[in-house]
Amino acid sequence: MSDSPRTASEALAAHTAGDPKAAEELLPLVYDKLRALANSYMKRERPDHTLQPTALVHEAYLKLIDVTRMDWQSKTHFFAMAATQMRRLLVDHARAHNAKKRAGERVSLHEDAELVEGKPIDVLALDQAMDRLARESPRQCTVAELRFFGGLNVAETAFALGVSERTVKQDWRVARVWLMRKLEGGGE
């Protein structure tokens, strides 16, 4: 290998190939984006949330990098998987919190990947709704996850899924309506 530093994509490929140093090289290359995602999620959480963005980044990264059989396709693929992992960590944290408090932990879905403008949403209810959506329409669920939890824009989501931007926009529109209905107590 040359003395020039690896790109994130090269470090991911090296990690997939079994290079033990690649994981150490990767973290500084992806940390800022992971930290920005974690900050975005934590802004939507309750003010007294005990999980810090740094802890969320580190827990997600450790779980991702421990997946030795993952064939990382690109940086976008990595960040999509990071989004999934952060969602799982936040849901697990909410469940643990609810076990103590017996009250729903709420997040507000806003910005470009908005579900309900200015309305807080129960993260556990969102997780359950997304699980149901995944059974009915896996791609729409993945689009919702990448847009909201992954912070990916339409073009990045399209690239990650290998579909057109038009397909992503349509899937996101349908998934948002479907999720809003489920979260607002709308039946089948």
Confidence at residue 133, expressed as pLDDT on a 0 to 100 scale: 92
Confidence at residue 169, expressed as pLDDT on a 0 to 100 scale: 93
Long-range pairs for 80-84 at CB < 8 Å and ≥24 separation? Answer: 80/145, 80/146, 80/150, 80/152, 80/160, 82/30, 82/34, 82/37, 82/150, 83/37, 83/145, 83/146, 83/149, 83/150, 83/151, 83/152, 84/145, 84/149, 84/150
Average pLDDT of the residues in 132-156: 87
Q: What is the DSSP letter of 45?
A: S
Beta bridge partner(s), residue 122? 106
109 pLDDT more than 50:
no
107 pLDDT more than 70:
no
User: Residues of the chain with pLDDT > 70: what percent?
Assistant: 78
Average pLDDT of the residues in 54-72: 79
Quick one: pLDDT band at residue 99, thresholds 50, 70, 90?
low
What's the start-to-end Cα distance of the chain, in Å? 56
Confidence at residue 116, expressed as pLDDT on a 0 to 100 scale: 47
90 pLDDT more than 90:
no
166 pLDDT more than 90:
yes
Residues 6 and 14 sit within 8 Å (Cβ to Cβ):
yes
5 in helix, strand or coil? coil
Average pLDDT of the residues in 110-120: 47
Residues 160 and 152 sit within 8 Å (Cβ to Cβ):
yes
To which H or E segment does residue 107 belong? strand 106-108
Confidence at residue 132, expressed as pLDDT on a 0 to 100 scale: 92
- The residue extents of the domains of the chain are 8-183
13 pLDDT more than 90:
no
User: Residues of the chain with pLDDT > 90: what percent?
Assistant: 11
Q: How far apart are CA 40 and CA 31, in angstroms?
A: 14
Q: Which of 30, 25, 96, 90 is nearest to 61 (CA)?
A: 30
* Least confident window among 26-35, 109-118, 125-134: 109-118
Half-sphere exposure of 78 (CA within 13 A, CB side): 24
Higher-pLDDT residue of 139 and 125 is 139
pLDDT digits (tens, 9 = 90+) for 18-37: 888 888 888 899 888 888 88
108 in helix, strand or coil? strand
81 pLDDT more than 50:
yes
174 pLDDT more than 70:
yes
Spell 32-51 as b/e; 16+ CB within 10 A means b. Answer: ebbeebbebbbebbbeebeb
